[in-house]
């Protein structure tokens, strides 16, 4: 029992603008499930695992079941998360164009397991000897990279998503979860991204020092030129074929963001039903590096021909970028809107 005039500080109301949860004493829970699904998908979808001989990529996260919460009790942060993750992947020898498809799953992503203890199970559909070699590369090298990516999810959950959950007191203007990211943490992120994407050595001081190539693509669609233009410039239609939240500001220079921020850039020029010019990058590219994408549309009656020219694609990301356009843009647009070849 407290002595006379010696008050328990837990019960003293501090000067707070909102007057709630004094001294952070009460339990506060913040649902992180939706944020976690977007973050895990962003970290895994399109992830490339490669060396001089092999090229593998996670093409789609097919299952993401579980939940996550961030909690504050007595000014202490507590995190609960449990996820069952399944994904599709493809891979090939760099000396051969034949691609092999497979599946992977991570059944035990939870607070009970450290990053290096996460299980990554990998399988391949083909039974050939080459397919087995590609699968083994994905299992051995891919496991380490996937573990690092999911470790990044855990780090972001604790450092970014927890912001604001511990409220400021009169003597502590920032809660534990609101501390600014240090330059050391930013450097660590850069190092991790470079390691994952096979970028060796220091980040170039001059962005022009990055070896680049130009990508050219021609694709035919069974639709009017107006329909294809709308699919590439309308937020609702872009959200439909990407199955993700989309930012689309079409008043140049307007920003755009697809696949939970994995693809970002700006519209530089728009000529309705004729031409689209974009400043464009993948999140996995070297920091600050953008390409220039020019999409030209030609009407052929009931069909439309799309010609894409993309300048300044990082050489190490060229195959990944080319495959990404094919799989995540053109194939998805044809599938979702029915603009592909008709089957009889």
Q: How would you classify residue 177: left for phi > 0, otherwise alpha for psi between -120 and 50, otherwise beta?
A: alpha
Helix (H) or strand (E) holding 56: strand 54-73
pLDDT surpassing 80 at residue 321: yes
Residue with tokens 């000067």: 15
Give CA–CA dist 102/138, Å, rounded: 10
User: So what's the pLDDT on residue 31?
Assistant: 80
The number of angstroms, rounded, from the C-alpha of 165 to the middle of its chain's C-alpha atoms is 25
User: So what's the pLDDT on residue 253?
Assistant: 85
Partners of 276 in beta bridges: 270, 295
What angle separates helix 33-44 from helix 143-156, to the nearest 10 degrees? 150
pLDDT surpassing 50 at residue 59: yes
pLDDT per position as a tens digit, 173-210 = 444 333 333 333 344 334 334 433 333 333 443 555 78
Give CA–CA dist 15/22, Å, rounded: 9
pLDDT surpassing 70 at residue 254: yes
User: So what's the pLDDT on residue 175?
Assistant: 41
User: So what's the pLDDT on residue 16?
Assistant: 43
pLDDT bin (cut points 50, 70, 90) of residue 156 is confident
* pTM score: 0.46
Q: Which of 106, 67, 113 is nearest to 87 (CA)?
A: 106
Token duo for residue 4: 């006379």
pLDDT surpassing 70 at residue 255: yes
Mean pLDDT of 230-254: 89
pLDDT bin (cut points 50, 70, 90) of residue 164 is low
Mean pLDDT of 232-249: 89
pLDDT per position as a tens digit, 78-127 = 778 899 999 999 999 999 989 999 999 999 898 888 888 899 999 999 99
Which domains, and CATH codes, for the chain? Answer: 12-196 (3.15.10.20), 207-337 (3.30.530.20)
Reply yes or no: is the peptide bond before residue 203 cis, omega within 30 of 0: no
Dihedral through CA 88, CA 93, CA 98, CA 104, nearest 10? -10
pLDDT surpassing 60 at residue 250: yes
User: So what's the pLDDT on residue 216?
Assistant: 95
Partners of 216 in beta bridges: 309
Rg (CA), the chain: 24
Mean pLDDT rounded to a whole number for the chain = 79
pLDDT surpassing 70 at residue 343: no
pLDDT bin (cut points 50, 70, 90) of residue 335 is confident
Share of the chain above pLDDT 70, in %: 74
User: So what's the pLDDT on residue 70?
Assistant: 77
pLDDT per position as a tens digit, 265-304 = 999 999 999 999 999 999 889 888 999 999 999 998 889 9
User: So what's the pLDDT on residue 198?
Assistant: 37
Please give the span between the terminal C-alpha atoms of the chain, in angstroms, as a whole number: 85
Segment among 206-210, 244-248, 319-323, 338-342 with least mean pLDDT: 206-210
User: So what's the pLDDT on residue 261?
Assistant: 86
User: So what's the pLDDT on residue 33?
Assistant: 86
User: So what's the pLDDT on residue 201?
Assistant: 36
Q: Which of 268, 250, 261, 262 is nearest to 317 (CA)?
A: 262
């Amino acid at each position: 029992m407290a002595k006379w005039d010696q008050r328990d500080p837990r019960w003293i109301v501090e000067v707070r603008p909102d007057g709630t949860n004094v001294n952070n004493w009460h339990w506060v829970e913040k649902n992180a499930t939706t944020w976690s699904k977007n973050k895990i998908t962003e970290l895994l979808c399109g992830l490339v695992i490669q060396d001089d001989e092999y090229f593998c990529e996670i093409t789609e996260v097919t299952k993401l079941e579980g939940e996550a919460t961030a909690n504050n009790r007595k000014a202490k942060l507590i995190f609960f998360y449990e996820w069952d993750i399944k994904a599709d992947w493809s891979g090939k020898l760099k000396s051969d164009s034949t691609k092999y498809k497979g599946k992977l799953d991570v059944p035990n992503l939870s607070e009970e397991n450290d990053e290096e203890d996460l299980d990554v199970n990998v399988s391949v559909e083909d039974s050939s000897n080459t397919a087995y070699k590609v699968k083994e590369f994905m299992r051995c090298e891919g496991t380490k990279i996937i573990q690092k990516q999911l470790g990044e999810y855990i780090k972001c959950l604790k450092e970014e998503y927890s912001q604001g959950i511990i409220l400021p007191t009169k003597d502590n203007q920032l809660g534990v979860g609101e501390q600014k990211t240090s330059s050391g943490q930013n450097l660590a992120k850069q190092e991790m991204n470079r390691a994952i994407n096979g970028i060796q050595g220091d980040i170039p001081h001059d962005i022009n020092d990055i070896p680049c190539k130009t990508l050219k693509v021609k694709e035919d669609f069974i639709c009017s030129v107006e329909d294809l233009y709308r699919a590439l410039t309308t937020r609702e239609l872009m959200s439909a074929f990407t199955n993700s939240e989309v930012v689309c500001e079409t008043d140049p220079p307007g920003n755009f963001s697809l696949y939970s921020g994995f693809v970002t850039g700006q519209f530089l020029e728009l000529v309705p039903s004729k031409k689209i010019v974009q400043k464009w990058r993948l999140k996995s590219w070297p920091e600050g590096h953008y390409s220039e994408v020019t999409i030209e549309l030609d009407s052929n009656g009931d069909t439309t021909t799309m010609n894409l020219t993309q300048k300044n694609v990082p050489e190490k990301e060229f195959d990944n970028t080319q495959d990404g356009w094919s799989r995540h843009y053109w194939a998805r647009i044809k599938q979702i809107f029915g603009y592909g070849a008709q089957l009889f």
